[in-house]
Structure 1
Amino acid sequence: MDTQRTRRAPFAALRRGAAMPVAAQVLIAGTIFSRLGDTLASLGLVLHAADGNIRFGVTEVLLAELIPTVLAAPLIGSVVDRFSARAVCLWALLVQSLSLSAATAAGGFHAKVALIALSALAGVASVAAGFKMLPVVAGEQHTGRANSLLTAGLSVAGLVGPPLAGFLNSLWGTAALLAADAVSFLVLAGCTTLAVPRSVDVAIGRRPATKLADGYRALRDAPVVGTLMPALAAAMLATSIESVAGVYYLRGVADGNDTVFGLFLATWALGSIPGALLAGRAGWSDRHTALILGGVSGIGLGLLLAGLVPVAAVMFPLFLMGGFGNGACNVGLRNAVHAHVPAEVHGSAWACFQALSRSCIGLGYLLGTPNSLISSRGQVIISGAIPLVAIVWAAVATLRRGESTVTEPSA
């Protein structure tokens, strides 16, 4: 079936001057809007727990978003690969919207968190299905650029979301933020319906029989991805350690000035935007190994030097560098999985990567928690050293396996 022809018709008039299919742009825009809604809801519940002095309330919110993903991702990923990715995505988004709507009306805090956990479970499916659909609507030649724009847009959502959530929470309360997230899932569902017509479903690889380990096996066996997975895990672990320990260390560097502390955090997100955009430029989007190794190196160096040089003015360029590396690394990873993992297991692979990433994040939160053995500054220094050690190991492993650090052919 000529799926390119079936996709062209609804957007033919709009695509004449576009470098990328409008269908892909619609899907990307909806995904970014939905991520902004997620940020509002998550931070809204955190603020609700803090304002109400709910014991372990913040931890409960974070665990509700982590644990379901880690436990259920392999099963959910296999569902995405076994059925139509479009249908799975739309049903998952409906469950997410209904969960957030119910959380808006729920009276108790723990009930709200339970519904957030249900939404997180459905979110594994919608994210994995979205990852699977993006190359179909963008086309092979535009997939790298699509991943670049999506990653940059998600960074913008991460930059705008927290201050917007704080402002809206002070005006209307947590219920309004949860309702906004519910609406954002409906918006993404509408964008998905427009971008991926029913006729395109047959082009999205489906596997009638799948095993729970298929996603992990696909990541392990894929060129580039399997070799560099330890370095990616180290980067996720490092940024999670810093996100906790850095609260104490960076506020000390800023002399307790919360505005300066907030600017530190915003600088990292700001740096990730050009990193993601440059990684999608022609000639770079297929340099998966270079983007991942270079990105992880930028993260490690930024965190290490930030810990070694506790000067506020120095933090800004270092966090820009770390954020730049983060954006480039994320694009390199998405492109590598799209290029080297078979399409019929894209859903399982991306769902399993979500599980791996959330595991690293959870462990990082624990390691970054203040203790009597290592100061917060020491924890930040260690967080920067971890990716750099992993990079050395990955570089040696890559050279041994004969993989190019410059470019790899698309699968």
Structure 2
Amino acid sequence: MDTHKTRKTRFATLRRGLMIPAPALALIAGTLFSRVGDSLASLGMVLDAADHGIRWGVTEVFLAELIPTVLAAPLVGALVDRISARSVCLSALTVQALSFGAAAAVDAFHLRVALIALSGLAGVASVTAGFKMLPVVAGSEHTGRANSLLTAGLSTAGLIGPPLAGFLHSARGTAFLLGADAVSFLLLAGCTALAVPRRTDVSVGRRPAAKLSDGYHALREAPVVGMLLPTLAAAMLATSIEGVAGVFYLRNVADGNETLFGFFLATWALGSIPGALLAGRAGWSARHTALILGGVLGISVALLSAGLLPVAAVIFPLFLLGGFGNGVCNVGLRNAVHSQVPAEVHGSAWACYQALSRICIGLGFVLGTPNALVSSRGQVIVSGAVPLAFSLWALLGLGRRGQSFLGESPAGIGKAPG
């Protein structure tokens, strides 16, 4: 037996499995630069509000990023499904660049927030169009891997952005950070133009008669996504509750050590990178139920245990587990929507999911705010218990249907009704 030849064949097979087309890589790279820019601008505005003692300033910034998505997502998604996603994306990115460029040029806090809200409105369109274009430029056989790399890259941007923003805010100020975000949108527009040239058929799945309700209907009808939407909502609510309550709880665990607190936050993002990469492997990328439900279980156990065990040495590995589950879940969700929702409503479905996620996030911010009824530690415990209960209920539902949690295979995956 020629073992050398066998090894070469296996290596070639592995290399083909890891590679995705250059246009998809360009689109992913541009998205990552843009996400780092978003982190710079968002944290810069938060720090600006804190430095100037602006009452409700931080809340105002967060609402400016949330509300446009909730209000505009169904309309924008239908627009992306009706016309060329390329045209929508490039136009939206131009508006975002101009908005942040204008925000960098003015010095009034509330005017800057209004311009960020305008950019957020355009951002619904650019993100939705990007989701719709990815399978076109990656090809159906590489879409799962592309989603994996994109999710891992976004987690990497989450690691790089905050510390870089803190350093640049001290050295150059908020206007510089806002201008950097404007440049990042222009860079993403350039990558999009290169990745999706005019000759590329981006009208795939175009649906001139798209309705605002098509996205919600498609999500409900998708076999896996529809079944697990309540569990996903519980997970998003939980992580948002912990995102606020955890600031107070984790700082107590760290005994006021800000460096240790920063490492807590970075650990979650660090864990999500291998989770996203492993979820993109050929043997797993199509197992949507296992990825989504397994990911939520990882998040739940991590948050619940972190609340029950207020010890720094224990919380670090738990946050690695939670981040790992977060990355796995995100890839599973993107793959499920791409493969189970008809292409003609990809834009509407993803826009509507964004709206649902922002509603859960906003509610989580409110519920995670410190109050006299539940301590910050209690809120973290609740943030783990709620999605755990939903996950176990979903597992029971699978058992009643005679379905296996790990038994899903590509051959068994169907398409949602059009």
Please say whether Structure 1 and Structure 2 have the same fold, judged by a TM-score greater than 0.5: yes
Find the counterpart in structure 1 of residue 231 from structure 2. 231
Find the counterpart in structure 1 of residue 393 from structure 2. 393
Q: Give yes or no for contact 1:297–1:388 (8 Å, CA) kept in 2.
A: yes
- Give the SS at the match of 1:285: coil
Find the counterpart in structure 2 of residue 195 from structure 1. 195
Give the gaps of 5 or more residues in structure 1: 1-14
Residue identity opposite 2:294 in structure 1:
G
Cα 1:78–1:408, aligned 2, differ >3 Å: closer, same or farther?
Answer: farther
Residue identity opposite 1:322 in structure 2:
G
Q: How big is the shift at 1:199?
A: 2.1
| Structure 2 residue 328 is matched with structure 1 residue 328 | yes
> RMSD in angstroms over aligned alpha carbons?
1.5
Aligned length: 397
Q: How big is the shift at 1:392?
A: 1.4
Residue identity opposite 2:147 in structure 1:
N
Partner Cα distance (1:20, 1:402) in 2: 36
* Post-superposition CA distance 1:6-59 (Å, at most 9, x none): xxxxxxxxx999821011100000011111111111111001111111110000
- Give the SS at the match of 2:200: helix
Residue identity opposite 1:147 in structure 2:
N
| Structure 2 residue 141 is matched with structure 1 residue 141 | yes
| Structure 2 residue 240 is matched with structure 1 residue 266 | no
Aligned residue runs from structure 1 range 126-137, under 5 A: 126-137=126-137
Partner Cα distance (1:202, 1:39) in 2: 30
Partner Cα distance (2:339, 2:403) in 1: 15
Aligned residue runs from structure 1 range 174-253, under 5 A: 174-253=174-253
Q: How big is the shift at 1:201?
A: 3.0
Find the counterpart in structure 1 of residue 166 from structure 2. 166
Partner Cα distance (1:64, 1:233) in 2: 21
Partner Cα distance (1:276, 1:72) in 2: 29
Deviates further, 16-25 or 184-193: 16-25
Cα 1:390–1:16, aligned 2, differ >3 Å: closer, same or farther?
Answer: closer
Find the counterpart in structure 2 of residue 113 from structure 1. 113
Residue identity opposite 1:312 in structure 2:
A
Q: How big is the shift at 1:106?
A: 1.6
Partner Cα distance (1:135, 1:299) in 2: 28
Q: How big is the shift at 1:248?
A: 0.6
Q: Give yes or no for contact 1:84–1:201 (8 Å, CA) kept in 2.
A: no
Q: Give yes or no for contact 2:84–2:203 (8 Å, CA) kept in 1.
A: no
Partner Cα distance (1:285, 1:118) in 2: 35
Q: Give yes or no for contact 2:76–2:125 (8 Å, CA) kept in 1.
A: yes
Name the TM-score, length of structure 1 as normaliser: 0.94
Q: Give yes or no for contact 2:18–2:145 (8 Å, CA) kept in 1.
A: no
Q: Give yes or no for contact 1:271–1:323 (8 Å, CA) kept in 2.
A: yes
Q: How big is the shift at 1:107?
A: 2.2
Cα 1:372–1:215, aligned 2, differ >3 Å: closer, same or farther?
Answer: same
- Give the SS at the match of 1:224: helix
Q: Give yes or no for contact 2:136–2:202 (8 Å, CA) kept in 1.
A: no
Aligned residue runs from structure 1 range 9-408, under 5 A: 19-401=19-401, 403-406=403-406, 407-408=408-409
Q: How big is the shift at 1:273?
A: 0.3
* Post-superposition CA distance 1:298-333 (Å, at most 9, x none): 000000000000001101000000000000000000
Partner Cα distance (2:111, 2:284) in 1: 46
Q: How big is the shift at 1:204?
A: 2.5
Find the counterpart in structure 1 of residue 12 from structure 2. none
Q: Give yes or no for contact 1:132–1:204 (8 Å, CA) kept in 2.
A: no
* Post-superposition CA distance 1:180-238 (Å, at most 9, x none): 10011111111011111112234531110111111111101111000011111111100
The percent of aligned pairs where both chains have the same amino acid is 75
Cα 1:401–1:210, aligned 2, differ >3 Å: closer, same or farther?
Answer: farther
Partner Cα distance (2:275, 2:222) in 1: 24
Partner Cα distance (2:322, 2:17) in 1: 35
Partner Cα distance (1:379, 1:89) in 2: 39
Q: Give yes or no for contact 1:295–1:329 (8 Å, CA) kept in 2.
A: yes
Q: Give yes or no for contact 1:86–1:201 (8 Å, CA) kept in 2.
A: no
* Post-superposition CA distance 1:243-293 (Å, at most 9, x none): 100011100011011110000000000000000000001100001000001
Cα 1:403–1:86, aligned 2, differ >3 Å: closer, same or farther?
Answer: farther
Q: Give yes or no for contact 2:41–2:178 (8 Å, CA) kept in 1.
A: yes
Partner Cα distance (1:402, 1:272) in 2: 31
Cα 1:324–1:205, aligned 2, differ >3 Å: closer, same or farther?
Answer: same
* Post-superposition CA distance 1:362-383 (Å, at most 9, x none): 0000000011111110000000
